Structure 1
């Protein structure tokens, strides 16, 4: 299985003005650099938490529908209480399911009607199972035979939790002040602030 971005977020959780205020930068010389660092900080936060911050679209590609061997769509350990036929979507919060498609045994792509499945989007990761009394259809037994497209994210920048935004600003400051792979110190000792990465703990999606 793999997760592919279909459409990236149209905006970032932190504006250029907010970033420059945090960095105490008044000139415009580094605007392009700071803008790129905002994107890098957001991507890092999303990778660390398993969440999408601003609304964006994703495609989960599976090698078949999950069965009794366990849920599909996540790389980590699976709690035994989850349905064995569940498709899990790691990118939280999931706003909506766009489509579920599969290759039938004749090699043609089919779209699974919404009446055939149910989605529980409040949990993280979100879950999709067949509707009551239904089963997943027979998909062609080959890699990439099932595709789930969905929309994830908190919405606009105002909806992104402040803890994640503060972490991004702190990460942004470190990236801006240290632009090389290594830092040569003439004196003193650098120590990481222990609370910084703990800011993300409350937002990490389990089992990623």
Structure 2
């Protein structure tokens, strides 16, 4: 998923850039900054439909990789060739816990080693709905990456970026 157009527009305004010459670069930098924010916080920022694979370990619960999950739409088994077969509802159980983690487990044995799960995950429906500290951290990181591209003496992103993101950080034990 590319960076939202509004994120690029916000970064351009922050950097005081007029015109469209730098739009492609800023979109790439915004996409990277959003990805880094998601890795740092452990949260998916913008709500989107996803499809991920989890192990088909009956009867153990398997956590979906993205969070917070708002809906789990489908569960399918994958054969050794990767062909998906939608499972009947009674063949699996799903749950979304209070922390927003999505969980799937098989309720009986099936001949598959992986499950393909379709679900929706993300904090906000769109860029303007995202919490201001998360947006500002992304914009500041885009500005840093833009200003320091190819700089050998770059000391890394400003501390303000992590300070803005830290309250949203979720730690998980593996």
How high is the TM-score relative to the length of structure 2? Answer: 0.78
Q: 2:119 aligns with which of 109, 125, 150?
A: 150
**Gap change, CA 1:191 and 1:158, over 3 Å in 2:** closer
Which has the larger helix fraction? 2
Matches of 1:103 and 1:30, distance apart in 2: 43
Instruction: Give the deviation of 1:103 after TM superposition.
Output: 4.6
Partner of 2:171: 206
Partner of 2:77: 102
Task: State the SS of the aligned residue for 1:118.
Answer: strand
The reply to whether residue 89 of structure 1 matches residue 73 of structure 2 is: no
RMSD of aligned alpha carbons: 3.0
Question: How many residues of Structure 1 are paired with residues of Structure 2 in the alignment?
Answer: 170
The reply to whether residue 137 of structure 1 matches residue 98 of structure 2 is: no
Q: 1:170 aligns with which of 140, 151, 162?
A: 140
- Describe the superposition over 1:32-83 as per-residue Cα deviations: whole angstroms up to 9, x where unpaired: 211221112112212222222222232221332254xxxxxxxxxxxxxxxx
Instruction: Give the deviation of 1:181 after TM superposition.
Output: 5.4
Is 197-206 or 19-28 further displaced after alignment?
Answer: 197-206
Matches of 1:13 and 1:94, distance apart in 2: 24
- Conserved? CA contact 1:51–1:91, under 8 Å: yes
**Gap change, CA 1:193 and 1:18, over 3 Å in 2:** closer
- Conserved? CA contact 2:41–2:168, under 8 Å: yes
- Conserved? CA contact 2:95–2:104, under 8 Å: yes
1:35-54 alignment, distance < 5 Å: 35-54=27-46
- Conserved? CA contact 1:14–1:38, under 8 Å: no
- Conserved? CA contact 2:137–2:160, under 8 Å: no
Matches of 2:86 and 2:52, distance apart in 1: 14
Structure 2: runs of 5 or more not aligned: none
Matches of 2:27 and 2:44, distance apart in 1: 19
The reply to whether residue 118 of structure 1 matches residue 94 of structure 2 is: yes
**Gap change, CA 1:122 and 1:181, over 3 Å in 2:** farther
